[in-house]
Amino acid sequence: MGTTVTKKIDLRVLKTASDMNLIQKLENDIWNMAPLPVHQTITAAQNGGLLLGAFYENELVGFSYGFSGFNKGKSYLCSHMLGIHPDHQDKGLGALLKQKQKEIASAMGYDLITWTFDPLESRNAYLNLSKLNAVCSTYVENCYGEMDDSLNQGLPTDRLKVEWWINSSYVEEPLQIEAAAAQDPFEWGVSEDDFPVLLNTEREDALGPVLVPIPANFQAIKSQNYELAMDWRFKTREILQSLFEEGYAMAGFIKGKEELVHYYILVQRNELQLN
C-alpha cells in the first residue's frame, strides 16, 4: 500500500501565499496546534529557505519547512518542521521529502542541513540515522521549553541536533559498524505494565562502538506511565551527554529483536568522513 501511494506522490516547492495556507491547514490536522504564520513561511521561502509539499491526488498530505541558518562563517539549511497527515504516515513520505530536500538544497549551494528530534522517538531516529545517514553529537536540554501539543505535553523537550552533510561521501557510503561487537553496557528490564525500564547509566571507559537503548514506543509509555517516561528522559539525557563529551557521535540505529527497545549506535566522531 505504501509503495503504491509513494508512486502517486507529487513533490513541489512551495512559494505562494496560497501554498502557505495549505501548510497551515495540514499543521492543524497533524498537531492540533497554532500553525506557522504565513508571513514567516513565505519570507523564509523568498530568502534562502526551502518549503516542500507532498501532494496525493492534488491534496497536500506532507510538507517540510526549512530556513537559512548561519554559524561561525558557514551557512546551512535549518530544517525546522516535517509533517505528514495521519492518514499517510508510515508510507515513506518523510523519506521522500527529505531526499528531495537534499537534492534541492545541494543545488542551492548548501552542504549541511540540520534539524532536531526527540531522542526517545524511535521512528524519527531510524529515519534520520539509518535511512538518511545523518549523524548527531549535540544534545539540547529542554530545547523548546514547555509545549502543550499532543506529542510533547508534560515532558522536558530535550532534542538531538542532527547534522546531514548532504555532499559528503558518508551520506552515500556510511561507516559500516558491526553492532554485534559493540559495547552494550546499559541494561534494561520490564515493568509490571510490560514497558521497558532502563536500569543503569554507568559504563566502563572503553573505546569502540557503544549501543544505547531507547523504548520502541515511547508515546505509549508517556500516555500510560508518566513516571517511567520521565525516568527514560533523564537517564538517556545523562548517558548521551556523557558519550558526546567523550567524542562520540550517533552513526546508526537498529531495531532490537526484543521489540520493546531499539538501539542507537555511537562511534568516535573522528571516524566519520563528513567533509
Residue 125's pLDDT band, with cuts at 50, 70 and 90, is: very high
> By percentage, how much of the chain surpasses pLDDT 70?
95
Per-residue CA distances from 162 to 133, 256, 259 (Å): 10, 22, 25
Query: pTM, whole model, 2 decimals?
Result: 0.91
**8 A C-beta contact, residue 132 and residue 125:** no
**8 A C-beta contact, residue 58 and residue 50:** no
The span from the CA of 262 to the CA of 240, in Å, is 15
- Sheet of strand 248-255, all strands in order from the earlier edge strand to the far edge: 9-13, 50-56, 59-71, 74-84, 112-117, 159-165, 135-140, 248-255, 261-268, 210-215
The 10s digit of each residue's pLDDT in 36-86 is 999 999 999 999 999 999 999 999 999 999 999 999 999 999 999 999 999
**8 A C-beta contact, residue 52 and residue 100:** yes
Averaged confidence pLDDT in the chain: 92
The 10s digit of each residue's pLDDT in 174-211 is 989 988 889 999 999 999 999 999 999 999 887 899 99
The 10s digit of each residue's pLDDT in 243-265 is 999 999 999 999 887 789 999 99
pLDDT at 258: 75
For the purposes of burial, counting CB atoms within 10 Å of the CB of 270, is it exposed (0-12), middle (13-18) or buried (19 or more)?
exposed
The 10s digit of each residue's pLDDT in 80-112 is 999 999 999 989 999 999 999 999 999 999 999
Residue 2's pLDDT band, with cuts at 50, 70 and 90, is: low
pLDDT above 90 for 237 = yes
Exposure string of 148-174, with b = 16+ CB inside 10 Å and e = fewer, is eeeebeebbbbbbebbbbbebebbeeb
pLDDT at 1: 40
For the purposes of burial, counting CB atoms within 10 Å of the CB of 245, is it exposed (0-12), middle (13-18) or buried (19 or more)?
exposed
